[in-house]
Amino acid sequence: MRNFRLLIAYDGTDFHGWQRQDGLRTVQGELEPALQQITGRPCPCNASGRTDAGVHALGQVVNFHAETRLDPPTLLKALNALTPRDLLVRDIGVVPDTFHATLSALTKRYRYVIDNGRIGPDPLRLRQTWHVHVRLDEAAMNEAGRALLGTHDFRSFETEYPNRATSVRTILDLAVSRTGDQVTIEVEADGFLYNMVRAIAGSLMLVGAGKRPVGWLGEARAALSREAAGPTAPPQGLYLLHVTYPDDRHSP
Amino acid sequence: MRNFRLLIAYDGTDFHGWQRQDGLRTVQGELEPALQQITGRPCPCNASGRTDAGVHALGQVVNFHAETRLDPPTLLKALNALTPRDLLVRDIGVVPDTFHATLSALTKRYRYVIDNGRIGPDPLRLRQTWHVHVRLDEAAMNEAGRALLGTHDFRSFETEYPNRATSVRTILDLAVSRTGDQVTIEVEADGFLYNMVRAIAGSLMLVGAGKRPVGWLGEARAALSREAAGPTAPPQGLYLLHVTYPDDRHSP
């Protein structure tokens, strides 16, 4: 048995998220049958984390154990031939048995993209951005985001989700920038609570729109209550960019 | 009666092109009923040119005559409220009675985008690019394109289309560049024959893939035969970028 690590990208629009669910089209639900077809055995996959319905990935990491004589480049081609076009296996490699895409992840980096077009949403970016009409002040958003850097209890940005041992996480980077009509939020952390990036994006939007002062975001965080923060931004603006692991010498 | 000029953008994926056709969803077929609803009268629209099914526009220009007391900003809002989200009216202005979006156009500029990802198509650009597996040499494509600059008979790049008075056109600019996996062709001319940009893109692809030498494109043009040139590239990579008119002081 070898342990394989995949790097995958997908357009989340037509997937009900990563996790296999009966009767629904999911990324795991497309990937695992393709692997079983190739290897002749069930190949349960672990992902770095679940992505929700509509959320995209450029660098989702997945691992699975399989017995196969195929070399990684052949396996890559076979997988892409058997999976739908809105899912692309970008790379594949063999990793040590101990590697686990979920448990071994050190940090994750997400991007949230806002279409800030004044007249209306860009028709060519509808599936991949959140349109916000009000002109956003990206410098204010970037400044506000500093209050979230470091190790904190982030339950103000967590959609209720039972069985969480702790809502303490460490945000390593949070930056907001603008290119033309597009406002981009990038955030990296050692882990994220349920809907956390989308709650941060919705809260930063309130600051950018001038509906809350820059200092409000730190207060919202300190209140330890979901009602204290802003709305949960919609899924189609969110991208899982990159996941890092302790020993990336073995990475694809 | 005032003469209005619109600047519009659309995602061509779900439109059967610009021109109204019975029973089919077209850009004109969405725009004209919205205008009629606002003005109370039929408002036949002229576009700078027809775009085909699947072809996108960032800067299509349209004009129509209407009696309305609405000022342009109000008309813009009303139109965007009544048209679907994959069509955006970006700007509107009042122009002299003599302005005609089709007949007054001086030059048009198109972009053709190729996804040249080695492993497979980028799942997030499927609707908006043409995926070509073979690594393309964009410098060779750019060099080959020079043979099309200037005034020539371009019937080698014209899908058969009766009633054309002439297939002579003047290409003012043709440039091929690469950013990462994306190869972009931009071409500007005083007018284009039917499927001309897509035939040029398909021909440039053959050069980029090393299947034809750089000098072949000029020979294909001089042969004055559609069979001499390359394939017609698919519509989803094509964007109408910009149209220029003689007196752009009046432009929106």
Residue B163 has a pLDDT of 58
Cα(B133)–Cα(B115) distance, integer angstroms:
8
- Percentage helix, strand, coil, to 5, in chain B? 30, 30, 40
Please report residues of A whose CB lies closer than 8 A to that of B6.
none
Query: Would the pLDDT of A172 be above 80?
Result: yes
Cα(B10)–Cα(B240) distance, integer angstroms:
10
How many CB atoms within 10 Å of residue B178? 17
Residue B162 has a pLDDT of 62
Which of A87, A124, A128 shows the shortest C-beta gap to B56?
A: A124
> Binning pLDDT at 50, 70 and 90, where does residue A165 land?
confident
Test A88 with B119 for CB contact under 8 angstroms: yes
Q: Which of these, B202, B232, B206, B217, lies nearest to B134 by C-alpha position?
A: B206
Q: Which of these, B159, B62, B173, lies nearest to B111 by C-alpha position?
A: B173
Chain B residue with the nearest C-alpha to that of A13 = B124
Kindly state the tokens that stand for A230.
């802003």
The per-residue pLDDT string of chain B (252 residues; one tens digit each, 9 = 90 and over) reads 999 999 999 999 999 999 999 999 999 999 999 999 999 999 999 999 999 999 999 999 999 999 999 999 999 999 999 999 999 999 999 999 999 999 999 999 999 999 999 999 999 999 999 999 999 999 999 999 999 999 999 999 998 766 578 999 999 999 999 999 999 999 999 999 999 999 999 999 999 999 999 999 999 999 999 999 999 999 999 999 999 999 775 455
Test A58 with B124 for CB contact under 8 angstroms: yes
Test B123 with A11 for CB contact under 8 angstroms: yes
Residue A163 has a pLDDT of 58
Please report residues of B whose CB lies closer than 8 A to that of A54.
none
Query: Would the pLDDT of A46 be above 60?
Result: yes
Cα(B101)–Cα(B75) distance, integer angstroms:
19
Please report residues of B whose CB lies closer than 8 A to that of A126.
11, 85-86
∠ Cα B80 B85 B91 (to 5°): 40
Test A123 with B87 for CB contact under 8 angstroms: yes
Chain B residues within 8 Å of chain A (Cβ atoms): 9-11, 56, 58, 76, 80, 85-91, 117, 119-124, 126, 128
Test A11 with B88 for CB contact under 8 angstroms: no
Query: Would the pLDDT of A123 be above 70?
Result: yes
> Binning pLDDT at 50, 70 and 90, where does residue A29 land?
very high
Residue A81 has a pLDDT of 97
Confirm if A220 and A147 have CB atoms less than 8 A apart.
no
Q: Is B92 helix (H, G, I), strand (E, B) or coil?
A: strand
Q: Is B175 helix (H, G, I), strand (E, B) or coil?
A: strand
Chain A residue with the nearest C-alpha to that of B57 = A124
pLDDT tens-digit series, residues A72-119: 999 999 999 999 999 999 999 999 999 999 999 999 999 999 999 999
Residue A160 has a pLDDT of 77
Residue with tokens 């005083």: B190
Confirm if A29 and A81 have CB atoms less than 8 A apart.
no
Q: Please give the average per-residue pLDDT across A134-160, as a whole number.
A: 96
End-to-end CA distance of chain B: 18
Q: Could you list the active site residues of B?
A: 52
SS (H, E, C) chain A: CEEEEEEEEECHHHCCCCCCCCCCCCHHHHHHHHHHHHHCCCCCCEECCCCCCCCEEEEEEEEEEECCCCCHHHHHHHHHHHCCCCEEEEEEEEECCCCCCCCCCCEEEEEEEEECCCCCCCCCCCCCCEECCCCCCHHHHHHHHHHHCEEEECHHHCCCCCCCCCCEEEEEEEEEEEECCEEEEEEEECCCCCCHHHHHHHHHHHHHCCCCCCCHHHHHHHCCCHHHCCCCCCHHHEEEEEEECCCHHHCC
Side chain identity at residue B113, one-letter code = V
Residue B146 has a pLDDT of 97
End-to-end CA distance of chain A: 18
Alpha-carbon distances of A3 from A28, A37, A58, rounded to whole Å: 17, 17, 22
How many CB atoms within 10 Å of residue B249? 7
Q: Side-chain half-sphere of B44: how many Cα atoms within 13 Å? A: 2
Confirm if B182 and B112 have CB atoms less than 8 A apart.
no
Cα(A15)–Cα(A164) distance, integer angstroms:
25
Strand duo B150-153 + A238-244: pairing: unpaired
Q: Which of these, A115, A101, A13, A116, lies nearest to A57 by C-alpha position?
A: A13
Q: Is B89 helix (H, G, I), strand (E, B) or coil?
A: strand
Query: Would the pLDDT of A161 be above 90?
Result: no
Chain A residues within 8 Å of chain B (Cβ atoms): 9-11, 56, 58, 76, 80, 85-91, 117, 119-124, 126, 128
